[in-house]
Chains A and B, each alone.
Chain A
Amino acid sequence: MADAAQGTGDEQLAQHAATEVLSPAHAVLAGLRQPIVLILLLIAFFTTISGKPLDGFLMLTVATLLVWDAARTRLSGPSPDVAGYGSPGQQSDAAGIGSPGPATAATSQAGQRERRRITGRMVAAGGAWLASGLLYAGIVGGFRRYSWPATIGVVSLGCLMVAVGWQGPLRRRAALTGQALRRAWLWAVVLVAGGMWELSSLLQQPHLTTDSYAHPTISALTDPLLASHPGRSLTLGAWLLIGWFLVGR
């Protein structure tokens, strides 16, 4: 019965969305009201005034693209945020590879060969990605921080990953439900607390671009590590691993 009621509610929402006539200005305003957009605009502002105009420009660009995308989808049909990205089912975790069907010896052997072939290709691809990551961390880590080569290396990969993220998840994942979902706010508390502590240290510096010994930011604390080539490569490797983890979400 609950499903039926929700179904009816969804239909009403869909009908409302279909009959609602939005002007371009309203669609843009709706895009601007997204929390992520507001956060990106705030980051763009603060990073620009603290001497990182490139960061600010890139954040502003992504915020603008998100507003444009939201406005476009609101004007043309249901939002991807409501409807989801569609089915990434071809690579679903639950999907079997080369399902053997009736249990005959021939099909079973063919299935095993197919599985071995796919596993081999996955191992080879994993090795290639690992080698690429090590090469990237080794080369980009060799450049001085805030130099143009380091900037180009990091900005290129960052833009590429944002573009990959824009396409949607690579595979279907189980949804967070029940008590675990209700306690997700605990992570928000931890992350916001960390952000507020960092911001408090930043605001207690003598100047936004001058570090404080008494109130060090995370950047100031990591300066000694990032002063050397191995330290930079190690940090870039960790950054790449986190990016790899996110791509799989």
Chain B
Amino acid sequence: MSTRDGTILGYLLVLAAGIALQVASVLRPDSFPSLGRVLTHVMRSRTGRVGIFVAWAWVGLHFFAK
């Protein structure tokens, strides 16, 4: 396995962990929170809400803007 493959595998493992957590939240909603519920919780405060929206905007800026 090349270094490049290892790097990509790292991203895929993080993605798989996120998917596994989301699936766990569907199967056992009382034990594991979904990403949506966590975001809702974080976004109950102004700083949290603005922070999440800025993160979203930053993704667009990062990939498309100067």
Main secondary structure of the interface of A (DSSP, over half): helix
A193 near B39 with CB under 8 A, answer: no
A216 at interface (Cβ–Cβ under 8 A)?
Answer: yes
A146 near B39 with CB under 8 A, answer: no
Residues on B with C-beta less than 8 A from A130 are: none
Q: Flag B42-66 by CB within 8 Å of A: 1 or 0 each.
A: 0111111111111011111111111
Chain B, range 14-64, C-beta contacts under 8 Å to A: 14-15, 17-18, 21, 25, 29-33, 35-41, 43-54, 56-64
Nearest CB on A from B50, distance (A): 5
A54-B66, A179-B31, A214-B2 given; A159·B46 CB < 8 A:
no
| Residue from A84, A147, A158, A184 in contact with B57 in the complex, judged by beta carbons closer than 8 Å | A158
Query: Please, could you name 27 A-B residue pairs with CB atoms under 8 Å apart, sorted by A?
Result: A39-B51, A43-B58, A80-B46, A81-B48, A84-B44, A84-B45, A85-B46, A150-B64, A157-B60, A158-B56, A158-B61, A161-B57, A165-B43, A175-B41, A176-B38, A178-B30, A180-B25, A181-B33, A190-B18, A190-B21, A197-B10, A214-B2, A214-B3, A215-B4, A221-B8, A221-B11, A246-B53
Which residue numbers of B lie inside 8 Å of A, CB to CB? 2-4, 7-8, 10-11, 14-15, 17-18, 21, 25, 29-33, 35-41, 43-54, 56-66
Which residue numbers of A lie inside 8 Å of B, CB to CB? 34, 36-37, 39-40, 43, 47, 52, 54-55, 58-59, 62, 66, 69-70, 80-81, 84-85, 140, 145-148, 150-151, 153-155, 157-159, 161-162, 164-166, 168-169, 173, 175-176, 178-181, 183-184, 186-187, 190, 193-194, 197-198, 201, 213-216, 218-219, 221-222, 226, 232, 235-236, 239, 242-243, 245-246, 249
